[in-house]
A and B are shown apart, each in its own frame.
Chain A
C-alpha cells in the first residue's frame, strides 16, 4: 500500500519527471480505498489513505500525469480523483469529512457532475 500512496502523492507534486499513468492512479485509488482491519477489529481507512484523499480535495489544480497517459471520458483526471475521494471519505466517516466534501459540492470550480457526486455523498441513502 505504501507504493500506492507514494504514487498518488506524486500526482500532486509537480517536478520535471513525468507523472504516473492514469491506469496506475486508478489502481492505486482502488488499493488505498479498501478499509483495513484495525486493532479493535473494525475496518477503517488507513490514516495515510485518508491524508492523501483529503489532499486531493484541498488541492486546487490539475494532476501530474504521464504525457502519454489514457484518461477518463466523462471528467478530467483531477475531477475524477476528487469524485472518488469524496465518496470514499464519506463512507469512511461522513461526520469527520463533511465540511471538506461540502466545500467540493459548493466550489464554483467544481463541475456539475463533481458537485452532484459530492452532494450525493453528503446524503447517503
Chain B
C-alpha cells in the first residue's frame, strides 16, 4: 500500500478528479445545526457550505456570488456525516476518474479529519459526481468553541495515493442542540416579513448568533456560565441600544434594538446552545391618586445602554428627589431614558431575561448590564399582565436589581405644597406635528428611597 506523503497529499500526483463541494447541513445530516442568514432569512446549508467555485485561480477563497465558504455548526461532541461532490478534471486525464476509490482527507489542524471510505464515483455531463457521504474520523470537540479544519483530500487506488485538493472550513460547536426558534424569532409586523419557505424547520438559529456566542462562551459548560459569558461579551457584537428595532432579524440588519428586541436577542443567543431563559417585561403602572398626583408615570434610566456613551433621548429637565419624595428637590437637565406609562393602562416598560440555575434565579438585563444579578427568594411572575404586582413580593428583585437598573421613578407628586406634575403636551395638535412637544417631568424619586410600604412600586408583568 502506498502511504500518504508528509504533507498529506498523494505521492503519485493529482487524481483525475478534485474536491468540488463539501456539504455539512445536507438533507440527511443528523446533527448539523440549521442556520439562517438574516439578510434574506435563507438557510445557509441549503446548498454546500464550501464550494470550490468560490476559489480564485490561486486557490484563495472568493466571496459570493462566484462561490462560497460558509460556516457549519454542530452540538459539541457529535461526529458529523458530510456530503462531498468531486469534479472530474477536464480532458482525457479525467477519463480515469470514474470507478472505485478510497477517498478521505487528513487534517492540518487539531480538528478531526475525514475518515477514508470506499466509494464508486460516476460523473454527470457537467463532470460532477453524485454526493458522497463521508464521516469525520472522530467527534468534534466536546465543548463550545470554534474549529478551523484544513483538509487535504486524497484518493487511493491499488496503484497509489493521489491528491484531490484542499478545503478550509469553520465549524462551530454549541453546548447542546438549539431550541425551537419560535419564542424569540417571531418577526414584528410591519418590519421584515419572514420570506423563508422552510418554515417547517423549528430548531434553527442565525449564523451570527452561533458565531458570536461560540467565541464568547468557549469552554462554558452550564447554562449559567453560558449566559454569563454572553452578557459579558455582547458589546463585542457592536450592536447598540436604542436602534429602532424590536425583533432579532431587524436588529441584526439595522445594528441594534430596544429592550423589546434585546430580550429576544439574548434568548436567541442562549437558545443557540440549547439553554432556555425566560423573558419578562415589567410595565409601568400609572396610578392616578387624585386629580393631579400619580404614581408612577415612567421609569427613568440613566445608563446609556449597550455600545452607547449617553442616552439617546434629548435632554430634559428633571426634578430629582434623591433622598425620598419628601426630601430636597434638585433640578437637573440631562438626557435620560424615560419608559412612559399611561394612566390606567399598560403601556411601555422594560424587558429582561431570567434564568433559573441550581434552584436560584438570575436576571439578565443585556440592554444595560454586562453581568447577571442573583436574586433571592424570587418567584417568577406569571406573564399575564392581568394584575399589578408590588416589588415587595419578589424577594430581593428590588434591592439587587431594580434600584440599580432604574435610577428614578417618575411621578406626579407634591413636595411641601409644590406640585411636580408629569404630563405630555397638553395640546398635541398644536405646532408642527413632526416635532416633539413639551413633555414635563414631574418628580423623579430615587428608586432606592421609595418605601415598600404604602403604594410602593408596582408593575404589570408580561411576556
> Taking beta carbons and an 8 Å cutoff, which residues of A are in contact with B?
2-4, 6-7, 10, 17-21, 23-31, 33, 60-62, 66-76, 78-80, 83-84, 87-88, 91, 109-113, 116-117, 119-120, 123, 125
Contacts and interface: CB of A to CB of B under 8 A. Distances in A.
The listed residue with most B CB atoms (<10 A of its CB), out of A24, A69, A72, A120, is A24
Interface stretch (B38-46, B204-212, B402-410, B434-442): B434-442
B434 A120 contact: no
Interface string B165-195: 0000000000000000001001011110000
Contacts of B439: 23, 27
A91 B342 CA distance: 14
B124 interface: no
A66 B343 CA distance: 24
A25 B188 CA distance: 20
B445 to A, nearest CB: 20
A81 to B, nearest CB: 10
Contacts of B364: none
29 contacts: A2-B429, A3-B430, A7-B429, A20-B433, A20-B434, A21-B436, A23-B425, A24-B429, A30-B343, A31-B428, A60-B189, A62-B189, A69-B434, A70-B313, A72-B258, A74-B283, A74-B351, A76-B244, A76-B260, A83-B345, A109-B189, A111-B246, A112-B463, A113-B385, A113-B463, A117-B385, A119-B384, A120-B386, A125-B386
A83 to B, nearest CB: 7
A72 B342 CA distance: 12
B430 A111 contact: no
Given A84-B347, A117-B385, A4 B339 contact: no
Given A78-B190, A109-B189, A117-B346, A23 B424 contact: yes
Nearest to A70: B313
Interface string B340-352: 1011111111110
Interface string B387-417: 1000000000000000000000000000000
A29 B434 CA distance: 16
Interface string B251-293: 0000000111000000000000000000101010000000000
Given A10-B433, A23-B425, A113-B281, A74 B385 contact: no
A29 B70 CA distance: 49
B426 to A, nearest CB: 8
A59 to B, nearest CB: 10
B384 A66 contact: no
Contact of A21 (B348, B383, B387, B435): B435
Contacts of B324: none
Given A27-B424, A116-B383, A74 B349 contact: yes
B290 to A, nearest CB: 16
A113 B189 contact: no
Given A79-B188, A111-B186, A27 B425 contact: yes
A45 to B, nearest CB: 13
Contacts of A4: 428-429
B427 interface: yes
What 9 pairs between A and B have smallest CB-CB spacing?
A3-B429, A62-B190, A27-B424, A66-B434, A27-B428, A109-B189, A112-B463, A24-B428, A18-B434
A82 B345 CA distance: 12
Interface string B47-89: 0000000000000000000000000000000000000000000
A112 B386 CA distance: 14
B347 A61 contact: no
A54 B385 CA distance: 22
A60 B350 CA distance: 25
Given A27-B426, A62-B189, 7 more contacts: A2-B429, A70-B313, A73-B337, A75-B260, A91-B344, A111-B246, A123-B386
Nearest to B339: A73
Interface in B104-132: none
Given A21-B436, A76-B188, A120-B386, A83 B347 contact: yes
Nearest to A91: B344
Contacts of B190: 61-62, 76, 78
Contacts of A74: 258-260, 281, 283, 339, 348-351
Interface in B350-380: 350-351
Contacts of B281: 74, 113
A71 B244 contact: yes
The CB with the most chain A CB atoms within 10 A, among B260, B349, B463, is that of B260
B424 A30 contact: yes
Interface centre among B244, B425, B426, B433 (most CB of A within 10 A): B433
B259 A73 contact: yes
A71 B347 CA distance: 12
A88 B439 CA distance: 22
